[in-house]
Structure 1
Amino acid sequence: MSRFQLLTDAQWSLIEDLLPARTGKRGRPFQNARSMVEGIIYRHRCGIAWRDVPEVFGPWQSIWTWHRRMSADGTWDVVLSRLLAAAEEAGIIDWAVAVDSTIARAHQHATNVTRETQGAGSNYMNLAIEPPDHGIGRSRGGLTSKIHHLVDGHGRPLVVLVSPGQANDAPVFEHLLAHLRVPRQGGGRARTRPDRVRADKAYSSRAIRTELRRRGIVAVIPQPSDQIAHRQRRGSRGGRPPAFDAVDYKGRNVIERGFNTTKQWRGLATRYDKLAIVYRGAAVLRAITLWLTPLSDTP
């Protein structure tokens, strides 16, 4: 196999019919849409400039434009939804999910935004709208972005969001859970409720525990020391400590290993894209490739 052929025939057949045949309504049809997708993968895997994408994939301007439009109109999300539906039908989704985030340092090419818009907030709810701060914020590591994942029990992403690097994890949790929707191929209501949620101490809040309890989802979340001390100071009024399965919590490491796999793409480990929707589109595409492997091996 050529080093420029990044998808197998079986993997390409799973997504081919969901991708547009041209860059726009009046654009010229592609001679090979597969090479365009592989060009996008190659660029983010290597972390190179768009204009340095090898000519074997086609004009770099067309590749960038195609990726930009599919990231904005939700095409990559539709492809991921199709794969998740197939995975659910095949019974390979483990619904003991985990949630966390990872930091990506923003390269200088991604940070040429005006001072007035930096730190202005981010739009988690409407993924098609570019946030005013482009999903870049200043944290201890400088200008950074966060990739938030909600993954299945094997560490494969079910939901992908992007926020500024200084954003707290807990407020994003409700948006991750709200975007969890896996269609059923045989018809019927899409699945939106996992069996349990594994998360670290950053997600230990009364609001999160209350919401999970209301929906009948088991919370596997340890309490931080300050919350434990506060409850103990209140004595009997502090109530009982929340249930916590320390053995089951060991399964949370799948999301850490999943981030290691995701960041094998250098264009995700370091953010080079100015637009948050383009950067998030690449993160969703990475999730797509992670699901293509088990689905293409399923008989």
Structure 2
Amino acid sequence: MGKLFRELAGNGRSTDTQMIDSTHVKAHRSAAGGKRGQKQAVGRSRGGRNTKIHALADAKGRLIAILLTGGEAHDCPIAERLIRRVKRPKRMLGDKAYDSAELREQLDERGTKPVIPNRSNRNQPYGFSKRSSLLRAPLCLAEANIWAM
């Protein structure tokens, strides 16, 4: 399935601008049981047991890469893993959850301009294009949520 997704994701995708986001999907109550051995990407967070979907999309909101983790996973470390899997974009759009110096540094090293708003508690704000950040429309996670149901 992974090979098929990579093939489909590579066809006709514009990768100059990419967007990153994540969402939660509540795990069914029977997800706690079942056979052990394989990782299930189900974790515990404030809302109970759930899975977190991390996704990269092109400028039109079409999925490029997707990664499932337990619901307690933080966005930035997973973003770094996702970004390494895809071709280098010119711009990476994200929300405040992706405002970390390490992620910005990784993007800069790859020659990608981070378009990420600053968290309100940041002492030394980074510059970013508010106009470009408006492109970060509702991403493709509605599509990903439909797949998960």
Same fold by TM (over 0.5)? yes
Aligned to 1:103: 24
Structure 2 residue identity aligned to 1:264: I
Alignment counterpart, residue 114 of structure 2, candidates 219, 229, 233:
219
After superposition, residues 89-100 of structure 1 pair within 5 angstroms as 92-100=13-21
d(CA) in 2 for partners of 1:86, 1:104: 27
Check the 8 A contact 2:51/2:71 in 1, yes or no: yes
After superposition, residues 58-137 of structure 1 pair within 5 angstroms as 76-87=1-12, 92-112=13-33, 130-131=38-39, 134-137=40-43
d(CA) in 2 for partners of 1:144, 1:84: 26
1:249 aligns with 2:144: no
Segments of structure 2 that go 5 or more residues without pairing to the other structure are none
Alignment counterpart, residue 259 of structure 1, candidates 121, 138, 141:
141
Segments of structure 1 that go 5 or more residues without pairing to the other structure are 1-75, 118-128, 181-191, 232-240, 270-299
Name the % identity.
Answer: 32
Aligned to 1:175: 81
TM-score, L = length of structure 2? 0.90
Structure 2 residue identity aligned to 1:107: H
Check the 8 A contact 2:21/2:94 in 1, yes or no: yes
Check the 8 A contact 1:153/1:254 in 2, yes or no: no
Alignment counterpart, residue 145 of structure 1, candidates 51, 66, 71:
51
Deviation at 1:113, TM superposition (A): 5.7
1:195 aligns with 2:90: yes
d(CA) in 2 for partners of 1:137, 1:113: 15
Instruction: Show CA shifts across 1:92-116 (max 9, x none).
Output: 42431110111000002222169xx
Structure 1 residue identity aligned to 2:53: I
d(CA) in 2 for partners of 1:173, 1:136: 18
Deviation at 1:261, TM superposition (A): 2.5
RMSD, aligned CA:
2.0
Pairs aligned (count):
149
Runs (4+) of structure 1 moved beyond 6 Å? none
Deviation at 1:82, TM superposition (A): 2.2
Where 1:97 maps in the other structure, the secondary structure is: strand
Deviation at 1:225, TM superposition (A): 1.1
Structure 1 or 2: larger helix share? 1
Instruction: Show CA shifts across 1:177-201 (max 9, x none).
Output: 1122xxxxxxxxxxx2011100111
d(CA) in 2 for partners of 1:262, 1:135: 15
In structure 2, the CA distance between the partners of 1:263 and 1:84, relative to structure 1 (3 Å rule), is: closer
Where 2:61 maps in the other structure, the secondary structure is: coil
Larger Rg: 1
